[in-house]
Structure 1
Amino acid sequence: MKPSRRYPSSTDVARLAGVSQSAVSRAFSEGKSISDETRQKVFEAAKKLDYSPSFIPRILLNHRSHLVAVVISGTSNPFYANALEAFTMALQKDGYQVLLVHIESDHSLDGAIPKLASYRVDAIVSALPVLSKAAARAFARIKIPTISFNTPIKNRWVASVCSDNVGGAGAVADLFVARGARTFGFIAGSDGSFASDERLSGYRDRLGKHGFDTVEIATADFQYQGGHDAALALFSNGNGPEAIFCANDLMAIGALDAVRRALGLRVPEDVLIAGFDDVPEASWGAYDLTTVVQDGPAMVAEAMNILNSMLASTGSVGGPMRVVPGTLIERSTTLR
């Protein structure tokens, strides 16, 4: 059996450099008192031994790891993939290292608690929401600042950055009415999704102000195939809605393909379709989808501001909720 690698220690560096172990520690600690000559000896010895200081002793001493857990459930949704990249870049820019944690749930952070409780991370960030009060209390018990997207619940340790789901959905309703639609459908995301529920609420309320009280609803799962199948369900009785708003772009793209290919209808002449997120695929020529921009970079920037405020505090600062405005972009799926 091949022996496991033994990493060089600070004791090895001290022995080779002819200095004390505390001198090695000071050499690798910013602002500590040590002569230039001694520091140079330490660095030369460390280079020969391929030594890098372990951050574990610093965790035990300072109770800070500079590790931030970024929780994902997959990258099939381009919005989450882009948010992951933005979080990673922002965290590393601010001097944190990223610990990537994968969970099975595709729309909620609630199931991550057992994994996260065992890690010595300074904070948790995720584009997935915390959806239950029980989960929020559990995050508070482990006393790790947690910042997530589109979370309806907050406490001293859980904060949220939300897109303006209601306002964006209302803008879609206004556009549909302005383009002449008189019957309306909505393709929802997974059951219990706060973002999907808010988008339905904003859409339905605004349509009500225009005098339209009925919205046909089909529930999917935020995925392409779910949107495709839900669109077919809306037309199963032979008379589908004249306008369909989908809770995200992936489902809207699936709905577009179902309406055009499976049903043989024209978009936008026969059916108007709009989504939410503005993922890169929404602007592709084959789809050219009208959508509401969920401003991922702005949401990540807000999350980082909250994170730095919470970590700079001697205790928790309370979990704020920030709302980032969305912008409606009209493309060819509603231009008629």
Structure 2
Amino acid sequence: MPNDKVTSQDVAKRAGVSQSAVSRVFTKGASASQKTIDKVKKAADELGYRPNVLARSLITGRSRIIGLVVAYLDNYFYPVALEKLSNALQDQGYHVMVFMASDTTENIEQVVDEILDYQVDGIVAASVPLSSDLAGRCRAAGIPLVFFNRSQDGDNLTSVTADNYAGGRKVAAFLAAHHPERIGYIAGWEGASTQRDREAGFRDGLQEAGLEIQSRTVGNFQTDSARAAALAMFSAPHHPDAVFVANDHMAFAVMDVLRHELHLSVPGDVIVVSYDDVPPAAWAAYSLTTVRQPTNQMVAQTVKVMMEAIGAEGCAPENIKIDGPLIIRGSAPAPKGWLG
């Protein structure tokens, strides 16, 4: 029997069970006895049967697909986080469809239109802003929307982020304990909530310690921009002896500039602290002191609120912020007497 003509009725007949039993065996979370499962899967293997997921979605009204929209993957944080997110959603019986977008409103609108055309059960927006109009269209379509590692103003939006403000304050307290003469800050993209909150926490923490930022440049969360920002900041005669870089992706470029182009020692001439704790931060070449994004917890919370939103209409929006620890390494050793 040709594989493309094998139906669930054929499997049921071969296994000696009802068609509904076949459906239960191939539906994640449905109940069936082990004896029935064994018979159905044996018959399916013999006939070369595969369930038609798209056809089932027409019956159930659920595609079992989550649309994931992301702007860029060159930052190490996103490939790691999105792999974990995809695996966690698959554990819940969902598949992830990835859509790439830029930070331009027009492009994002086109991408969201495409996502909605696929009749997805939910949307996770990672590192991209959505207008209130787009968010409203998702709600009108009954599609739950969760922001991952990015928050937006609005009472009707759900987001899951690290506690970036608290992380910025931790960096301020840590640098203050080093008693630096001049403090620098290399900002990320100004439109990102992660950038805004990290800098706000950093500034407030410094103010509490009686300090302030003496030099500020913008790296836009990009390698080339971070390199240019570092050259501008540290080519000056009285450059900072301590710098907070808004994420690890930029910090690697900054450290390369300091060591290999400006011939400054890290941490001898400049101590460097960053944010994310992506895998290369632990490499001996960087040994970067950084605030760790609690990725596992962020992913777990994103999946939790998404499943709750899919399962219940009118689920209350949440803004979930998860604290992460400061990981101390060689680019900024613990100051004398530091207790954390």
**TM-score, structure 1 as length reference:** 0.85
Aligned-pair CA distance for 1:257? 0.9
Is 1:228–2:223 an aligned residue pair?
no
- 1:8 equivalent in alignment to 2:5: yes
1:175 aligns to 2:170 (yes or no): no
Determine the C-alpha separation between the residues in 2 that align with 1:220 and 1:273: 15
Deviation at 1:67, TM superposition (A): 1.5
User: Is 1:80 matched with 2:75?
Assistant: no
Aligned equivalent of 2:69, options 68, 71, 74 = 71
CA offset at residue 62 of structure 1?
Answer: 1.9
In structure 2, what is the Cα distance between the partners aligned to 1:114 and 1:70? 13
Residue 282 of structure 1: aligned partner: 281
Corresponding residue SS for 2:320: strand
Q: Quick one: structure 1 residues 213 and 14, their matched pair in 2 at CA, closer, same or farther if it must change by over 3 Å?
A: closer
Residue 56 of structure 1 corresponds to 54
Task: Note the alpha carbon deviations across 1:149-171, whole angstroms, 9 max, x for none.
Answer: 22123554x41011111111111
Alpha carbons of 1:92 and 1:43: their partners in 2 closer, same or farther (altered >3 Å)?
Answer: closer
Matching of residues 1-336 of structure 1 within 5 Å: 7-10=4-7, 13=10, 23-24=18-19, 26-30=21-25, 46-105=44-103, 110-111=108-109, 112-130=111-129, 132-148=131-147, 149-156=149-156, 158-313=157-312, 315-335=313-333
| Cα deviation, residue 223, structure 1 | 2.7
| Counterpart residue type for residue 60 of structure 1 | L
Q: 1:241, CA displacement in angstroms?
A: 1.6
Letter in 1 for 2:22: A
Residues 138 and 145, structure 2, Cα contact 8 Å, conserved in 1: yes
2:338 counterpart residue number: none
Amino acid at match of 1:222: F
Greater mean alpha carbon deviation, residues 130-139 or residues 183-192? 130-139
Residues 75 and 52 (structure 1), Cα distance of their counterparts in 2 relative to 1, 3 Å cut: same
**TM-score, length of structure 2 as denominator length:** 0.84
Higher mean displacement: 81-90 or 59-68: 59-68
How many angstroms apart in 2 are the aligned matches of 1:195 and 1:215?
A: 21
Q: In 1, Cα distance between the equivalents of 2:279 and 2:144?
A: 31
Q: Give the counterpart letter for 1:7 in structure 2.
A: D
- Matched residues, percent identical? 30
* 1:192 aligned partner, one-letter code: G
| Alpha-carbon contact 2:71-2:126 (below 8 Å) kept | no
CA distance in 1, matches of 2:265, 2:15: 80
In structure 2, relative to structure 1, the CA distance for the partners of 1:216 and 1:8 (3 Å cut) is farther
The DSSP-based 3-state class of the residue aligned with 1:265 is: coil
List gaps (5 residues or longer) in structure 1: none
Partner SS, residue 5 of structure 2: coil
* Aligned-pair CA distance for 1:277: 0.3
Q: Any idea what the Cα deviations from partners look like across 1:167-194, whole Å, max 9, x if unmatched?
A: 1111111111111213221111123011
Q: Deviations over 1:61-100 (max 9, x none)?
A: 2211221223333432111011111111111112222222
- Cα distance in 2 for partners of 1:107, 1:165 equals 25
Is the alpha carbon distance of 1:130 and 1:240 closer, same or farther for their aligned partners in structure 2, counting shifts above 3 Å? Answer: same
Cα distance in structure 2, aligned partners of 1:94 and 1:271: 46
Q: Report the CA distance between 1:212 and its aligned residue.
A: 2.4
Shift of 1:226: 2.5
SS at structure 2 position matched to 1:7: helix
Query: What stretches of structure 2 of length at least 5 have no aligned partner?
Result: 336-340
Structure 1 stretch displaced more, 270-279 or 47-56: 47-56
| Deviation string, structure 1 residues 193-228 (Cα, Å, up to 9, x no partner) | 110111111111111222224442211231333322
Please say if residues 131 and 153 of structure 1, whose CA atoms lie closer than 8 Å, have aligned partners that are also in contact. Answer: no
1:21-70 Cα deviation digits (max 9, x unpaired):
x954552235699xx99x95x76664444221212232222211221223
Q: Which is worse superposed, 231-240 or 174-183?
A: 231-240
Q: Rate the CA distance shift 1:172–1:14 in 2: closer, same or farther, 3 A.
A: closer
1:231 Cα deviation (Å)?
0.7
